[in-house]
Structure 1
Amino acid sequence: MRITTKLFHGPNIYANVPIVLITIKVLSAQPEVLIETCKEIEKLLPNYVDENISKILTPYTHFGMLMSNFAFNLINKNKGLLTSYGAKESSDAILSWVEFDTPEVTLKAIELFFNIFLPLLQKKQLSSAAIDQAIVNYAEFAKKYSNYDYELLSGSKSLDIPSFKFMTNSLYRQYGWGKNSRVFRGSSPMEDSYHGVFVSMDKVASKELLKSIGMPVVKDVVIQSREQLQKAAETIGYPCVVKPIRGAQAIGISVNILSFDELQNAFDHAKQSSFGNNPIMIEENINGYAHRIHVVRGKFFVSIKKMPPILIGNGISTIQSLIEEINIQRMDVRKNPDSLKQIQINDELIVYLKKFHLTLQSILSDNQEFQLSTTFTYGVHGASIENTTNITHPDIIHMAEAIAKVTHIDMLAIDYITSDISKSFHEIKSAICEYNHTPGLGSLKVLGASLYTPLEVARTFIGDEVGRIPIFLVLVENSHLGKIDTWFINNIKESSVGYMCGDKVAVGRFVLNTYESQGWDSAKMLL
């Protein structure tokens, strides 16, 4: 079997989307052997192969369709948003194709299929464990190229808004064409202020900004070394919070610290985190739940309450068993890093349990409730979430919109700690923990499709002004290209009109350097 691949970066004779074309020359395998192996694949991988895929196909087309269908489903189960795949026979080969957003991800899925299929074709044994591990390894590989703009991209497809990578191998994506387009990095548009974003990444600077405009924040001390802990504890008091001044996803953060021993351990934990080379902030601890407040294009959009998971004992199961039961229930959303995550069983959890004189092998009494962790991020510890948009106090809404206005961040997320978001920070002790640009949007999907569908998220975040521009195709014989080019030069003078003619690309009278690119790559320059 001889296998070659070719990339089509734009509309082509097989599909109107970018594809990987796989040409398969079957040199020796008999049709019945191919079909037997295909059926074995279908039994081994029922979650990655659609049912009845072979109903009206010849043996060779069945094989080609199985390959492309497997790759298609594998990618989409790992936050892909592909819409096209297929297969057909040519005179001497099987032609299969699979859409790609990132070529490496589709090529890796195709490679995985053949790594499973070819040994089976040769009657070699492959264990289910080996296949499962290969799929897990693929998922880890795909994460490197993950669509952090998954919700926007999904919604844009529903709205028929075209999109493509703004730059090769980057996280920047353009939605729409030409003057009707916007460019995002994840959920952050290019309109975001550089200075606003820069300040948001520094917890000390961002807190100073919040203080300067009269927003509610907690008392803090910034220290460099362990020797400064005692004075910091005297200044802040207990309980307190320890965090690196730079970071994300609550990495290195410890909360509800009640003693100096715990404070020392928390300082070491923060220093050992990936952000630990920076100074460490010691903050006053506020009791309550964290609420993620989204402000979109200057307007309050949603508030989400994040609640650490709660174990309910039965008098029989250990804490570890109860956690494992919850994690099994969450298996369906494991592929979405912004959804209900797995509860991590790690050293941090063990230390937390010790505070309550518990271990992983402790047994909670029947109906006894135990809250796992007080860390306020839902991502790290697998917390659940609740929509609190309709009960958010007007003062909090005004606060959020004011921060967005001052920072000039178009897509802003604010982490706000309060025991009751329906009450103003003037009524009960509450505070802003931090604010961020490029917020994850997966939690909006978890709240319920009826409230925040990808289409609704995209319409809100991208905006109604984004879409297509008029495009006209003129077909002429090659001998007339010169005349057409001359006509374009004489008649297209406005910088709002672009054209391609042969290997020439221009906007008005300004000719672009195409760097030997052609076809779709040249068209993207104009769009």
Structure 2
Amino acid sequence: MKIVKTKVFEGKSIYSHKTCIRLDVDLEGYCEIPSKDIEDFNFNLVNMLPELRTHRCGIDEEEGFIKRLKEGTYLAHICEHIIIAIQNNLGIDVHFGKAREIKDDHYYIIFQYQYENTAIESSKLAIDIINSLINKNPINYEDRFELIKEILKEEMLGPSTKAICDYAKSIGLPVIKFERGEFHQIGYGKRAKKIEASISPNTKCISVDIASDKLLTKELLKSQNIPVAEGSKIRNIINLLKEAEDIGYPVVIKPQYGNKGKGVVLNIKTEMELLTAYRKLKVKFKDLIIEKYHNGKDFRVCVINNKVVAVALRKPPCIEGDGKDNILELMEKLNDNPLRGDDHEKPLTKVKLDEEVLGSLKDQGKALMDVLEKGEKIYLRKNANLSTGGEAVDYTDKICDENIDICIRVAKILELDICGIDICTNDISKPLIDNGIVMEVNAAPGLRMHLRPSKGKSIDLGKEIVSMIYKDEPSNIPVISITGTNGKTTTTRLISHTLSKMGYCVGMTSSSGVFVNDKCIDKGDDTGFKSARTVLLNPDVDIAVLETARGGLIRNGLAYDLADVAVITNIREDHLGIDGVKSMEDLCHVKSLVGEAVKDDGYVVINADDYWSKSILNRIKAKKIFFTTKNLEEFMEEKDPNNIYVYIKNKNIIIENEEKKYLLCKIDDIPITLNGNLEFNVQNVLAATAALVGMKIDYCMIKNGITSYLLNSDKNSGRFNCYDVNGVNVILDYGHNSDGYNAVLSSLKKINNGKVYGVVGIPGDRADNAVEEIGEISAKYLDYIIIKEDQDLRGRSTGEVAKLIESGILNYNKNKKYEIILKEEDALIKALTMAKSGDSIIIFFEKIEMLKNVINDYVKERELVEKYKFGAIN
């Protein structure tokens, strides 16, 4: 068994609304061999991973997966369960998975993940486990598992970041994770807020710099009469000894720039101890300071937005004797506490045996092999940092008002919106003056001690921080997502145009590019994940309007979490046979993702004229808006008063909402419908109107938007753009499937009195019958046909698509006039030379700019010919 391809989905996908990974595998001849037929496979697998006994599997009963193994199940399914089991053993809460056949030995496996690299390495280990059980070539599972644990340590969110992100998600704010560890964005566009652990978007860089300098921090606090430890920077040994003598023993030496208690040596009582500590620290740290040691308890006060929100007593790790076990054994028992983890993944951290522990034992006259008497307590460290094994007890309700005031003053002096203030005092309920000192101030304080204290209540600091950065009004920008087979781009542009006219800065993705505030920031077919993410990360955007195409949905899933409004213009027979979409049911499954990923109070816009669009209604949980080109009374026998309806009656657009009817405007007043003759644009207008109604836009504003949107290349490039070339009506359109051709050509017949010449083609990745159908439709409507091909043949050989279109033409009418000119610019030139005033030319293009140039050059050339028709050029 081997991995062929790995694809990571960051958000909702066609496979799951959970984050998941698709693993394509080759079973290498084992597709029809169940594991029960492989000697000792099941027995050895369950021995290696007892966790599998807890898997209920699809039959949803105790030891369901074990039952499946005994009955006979296949390797891809087993691999899925192994991957989930490995992640569960790492403490990762994931459960979802499935395996499906692609063809023969090729399968894909879907499995849920939280940490990408950890999950991928788990999948590699799962494959190796299966191969080792088949080949009877044992692997060292424990060693591999430990390596993955190290990857997880690097990847796992810290408790501070997790608390903030978890709270944001709990109130409906989306979170985007960046490559760099703790760096995340909450929300989208103009409402986005970036955080890094407990550093907020409002935290000042200069304040962080000051807080990281312990000496400068003390200087500023002392200037405002905040009690701090007396001391100074160590210049040399002579200066060190003199300063210790001046301030008096015991003393503390520590790095001027440091965190998490690293390098701090406390309670130094003699000159010899001082010199020993100094020499050790000088090897690791360039800048050291000396301070007067103050005896007392270690408190951490968390201040957010000039408000004391949490207080914790921090205690060094401690063991208590039982009269039997030695200190090393008691340490092991301490670390066996299920609340202790290797790092910060649990409330407490294991105590590592290091020089500091040995030194602390020595100071207490103890050694590792000593047996403590029953009830005898000793501290394993002098510092109480949680990261080195300390414990925390909540004291939030015990701090006195005077100390609250001091802590708020400290935060204001350093101009820190979030900080952790370390205080040494015997009693936090009594004023610090003459009773304690401020030891340090942390600009990015760890929140774990307050979130998950060893004793006392948990304080939701994630909520406090999110409330602060959003000024108690957490909200996100609206997201409108448009999908479907035809009409996506025009509908997207109409919505964007209307919102822009209202003064909003709209971020729009479409098949013509990414636009922010009507300015193109990227040209191309930008209808996928990356382009949508570009808009969502843009700090200027008020509203995101995203064209969301089939290909992007399949390849990368959704870039956003939930939309406010989703639009499904229609679902038609296009792209079948591509990207694993074999049937209309498959295509509906893909498109329905956009309708499923909508907020509870949002809307999904559905084309009531389209059978396949209505077929996905059972998947949609949000409220619904239906649009139809028909008269609603004739179209629907029974209306649901909970739905909104947008429809046509007597050539007027009617909105029916909460059982009231509103006349929006006349169809003839909307330029892109050409007096209602372009039925496909009538549908696009209705879809856009419905989306704007779902956004609760004032109806006058909707009317203003749709009636000011013009049918030209500036506003709606590539969609039925008309050019007058010496009396010939030249139309450029991006129709690229049978429905698009039918819609455009039937409309053109209504408005054209002369002959209609067509330059026709279709992308090469369409099925043969779909290509031939283009020929048949062209023969039905066009007087003369010129067959061209796209430059991008999409896997076809030159002339192959043209031959299929030709076959379709001849199937419909053997006498139909046509010719083949493969280059679309040459084909257009030929059509221009044939057409006469009053005729029309329709070209279904691949690249519009090139054809615009052809038209401009042709017009200039004809002007020159006319100018010098009766005389020579001078």
TM-score by length of 1: 0.88
Is the contact made by 1:338 and 1:379 (CA closer than 8 Å) also made in structure 2? no
Instruction: Report the alpha carbon displacement of residue 392 of structure 1 after superposing the two structures with TM.
Output: 0.5
Q: Take 2:350 and 2:201, find their aligned partners in 1: how far apart are those partners?
A: 33
Residue of 435, 444, 459 corresponding to 2:441: 435
Secondary structure of residue in 2 paired with 1:492: helix
Q: Take 1:485 and 1:390, find their aligned partners in 2: how far apart are those partners?
A: 56
Q: What per-residue deviation string (whole Å, max 9, x for no partner) do you get for residues 374-409 of structure 1?
A: 2242322x2221111101011111122222233332
Partner of 1:16: 17
Instruction: Report the alpha carbon displacement of residue 41 of structure 1 after superposing the two structures with TM.
Output: 3.1
Q: Take 1:263 and 1:45, find their aligned partners in 2: how far apart are those partners?
A: 52
Secondary structure of residue in 2 paired with 1:512: strand
Q: Take 1:462 and 1:84, find their aligned partners in 2: how far apart are those partners?
A: 30
Residue of 87, 90, 107 corresponding to 2:99: 87
Q: What per-residue deviation string (whole Å, max 9, x for no partner) do you get for residues 221-267 of structure 1?
A: 21133343211211221111110101111111110111111111211
Partner of 1:139: 149
Larger radius of gyration: 2
Q: How does 1:273-288 map to 2 (within 5 A)?
A: 273=284, 276-277=285-286, 279-288=287-296
Is the contact made by 1:17 and 1:99 (CA closer than 8 Å) also made in structure 2? yes
Partner of 2:428: 421
Instruction: Report the alpha carbon displacement of residue 27 of structure 1 after superposing the two structures with TM.
Output: 2.0
Q: How does 1:36-185 map to 2 (within 5 A)?
A: 37=41, 40-47=44-51, 50-53=54-57, 55=64, 58-60=73-75, 62-70=77-85, 72-74=87-89, 77=91, 85-92=97-104, 93-100=106-113, 103-126=116-139, 130-148=140-158, 149-165=161-177, 167-185=178-196
Instruction: Report the alpha carbon displacement of residue 318 of structure 1 after superposing the two structures with TM.
Output: 1.7
Q: Take 2:123 and 2:79, find their aligned partners in 1: how far apart are those partners?
A: 11
Partner of 2:578: none
Is the contact made by 1:49 and 1:66 (CA closer than 8 Å) also made in structure 2? no
Is the contact made by 2:300 and 2:314 (CA closer than 8 Å) also made in structure 1? yes
Q: Take 1:189 and 1:468, find their aligned partners in 2: how far apart are those partners?
A: 17
Partner of 1:457: 461
Partner of 1:7: 8
- 1:508 partner amino acid: N
- 2:260 partner amino acid: Q
- 2:152 partner amino acid: A
Q: What per-residue deviation string (whole Å, max 9, x for no partner) do you get for residues 308-335 of structure 1?
A: 1332223332222222221122565345
- 2:462 partner amino acid: A
Gaps of 5+ in 2: 59-63, 537-874
Asked if residue 26 in structure 1 is aligned to residue 35 in structure 2, the reply is no
Asked if residue 387 in structure 1 is aligned to residue 394 in structure 2, the reply is yes
Q: What per-residue deviation string (whole Å, max 9, x for no partner) do you get for residues 38-66 of structure 1?
A: 56334322347743336386535532431
Percent identical pairs in the alignment equals 23
Residue of 406, 410, 416 corresponding to 1:409: 416
Q: Structure 1 residues 48, 299: CA separation in 2 closer, same or farther (over 3 Å shift)?
A: farther
Asked if residue 358 in structure 1 is aligned to residue 357 in structure 2, the reply is no
Q: Take 2:295 and 2:348, find their aligned partners in 1: how far apart are those partners?
A: 23
- 1:296 partner amino acid: I
- 2:167 partner amino acid: G
Asked if residue 205 in structure 1 is aligned to residue 216 in structure 2, the reply is yes
Q: Structure 1 residues 319, 2: CA separation in 2 closer, same or farther (over 3 Å shift)?
A: closer
Residue of 475, 496, 499 corresponding to 2:508: 499
Residue of 259, 263, 266 corresponding to 2:274: 263
Asked if residue 223 in structure 1 is aligned to residue 234 in structure 2, the reply is yes
Q: Take 1:292 and 1:34, find their aligned partners in 2: how far apart are those partners?
A: 61
Q: Take 1:502 and 1:342, find their aligned partners in 2: how far apart are those partners?
A: 54
Is the contact made by 1:514 and 1:522 (CA closer than 8 Å) also made in structure 2? no
Instruction: Report the alpha carbon displacement of residue 477 of structure 1 after superposing the two structures with TM.
Output: 4.1
Partner of 2:534: 525
Q: Take 1:345 and 1:407, find their aligned partners in 2: how far apart are those partners?
A: 36
Moved more, 247-256 or 402-411: 402-411
Q: Take 1:46 and 1:446, find their aligned partners in 2: how far apart are those partners?
A: 30
Equivalent pairs counted in the alignment come to 513
Secondary structure of residue in 2 paired with 1:95: strand
Q: Take 1:354 and 1:451, find their aligned partners in 2: how far apart are those partners?
A: 35
Is the contact made by 2:94 and 2:113 (CA closer than 8 Å) also made in structure 1? yes
Q: Structure 1 residues 498, 336: CA separation in 2 closer, same or farther (over 3 Å shift)?
A: same
Moved more, 456-465 or 419-428: 456-465
Instruction: Report the alpha carbon displacement of residue 303 of structure 1 after superposing the two structures with TM.
Output: 0.4
Is the contact made by 2:424 and 2:438 (CA closer than 8 Å) also made in structure 1? yes
Instruction: Report the alpha carbon displacement of residue 81 of structure 1 after superposing the two structures with TM.
Output: 6.7
Q: Structure 1 residues 90, 34: CA separation in 2 closer, same or farther (over 3 Å shift)?
A: farther
Q: Take 1:177 and 1:508, find their aligned partners in 2: how far apart are those partners?
A: 16
Partner of 1:399: 406
Is the contact made by 1:182 and 1:462 (CA closer than 8 Å) also made in structure 2? no
Q: What per-residue deviation string (whole Å, max 9, x for no partner) do you get for residues 459-513 of structure 1?
A: 2221253344322223354576367547745762534332221252222213334
Identify which of structures 1 and 2 has the higher relative contact order when contacts are C-alpha pairs closer than 8 Å and 6+ apart: 1
Moved more, 192-201 or 103-112: 103-112
Is the contact made by 1:252 and 1:272 (CA closer than 8 Å) also made in structure 2? no
Residue of 311, 317, 327 corresponding to 1:309: 317
Is the contact made by 1:151 and 1:457 (CA closer than 8 Å) also made in structure 2? yes
Secondary structure of residue in 2 paired with 1:295: strand
Instruction: Report the alpha carbon displacement of residue 136 of structure 1 after superposing the two structures with TM.
Output: 1.8
Q: Take 1:331 and 1:490, find their aligned partners in 2: how far apart are those partners?
A: 56
Q: What per-residue deviation string (whole Å, max 9, x for no partner) do you get for residues 130-175 of structure 1?
A: 322222221112222231212223333433432112x434531011
Q: Take 2:306 and 2:524, find their aligned partners in 1: how far apart are those partners?
A: 40
Is the contact made by 1:404 and 1:410 (CA closer than 8 Å) also made in structure 2? yes
Partner of 2:453: 447
Asked if residue 367 in structure 1 is aligned to residue 375 in structure 2, the reply is yes
Residue of 333, 336, 349 corresponding to 1:325: 333
- 1:31 partner amino acid: P
Q: Take 2:75 and 2:126, find their aligned partners in 1: how far apart are those partners?
A: 16
Partner of 2:478: 470
Q: Structure 1 residues 513, 234: CA separation in 2 closer, same or farther (over 3 Å shift)?
A: farther
Partner of 2:798: none
Q: Take 1:388 and 1:132, find their aligned partners in 2: how far apart are those partners?
A: 41
Moved more, 29-38 or 17-26: 29-38
Q: Take 1:187 and 1:46, find their aligned partners in 2: how far apart are those partners?
A: 38
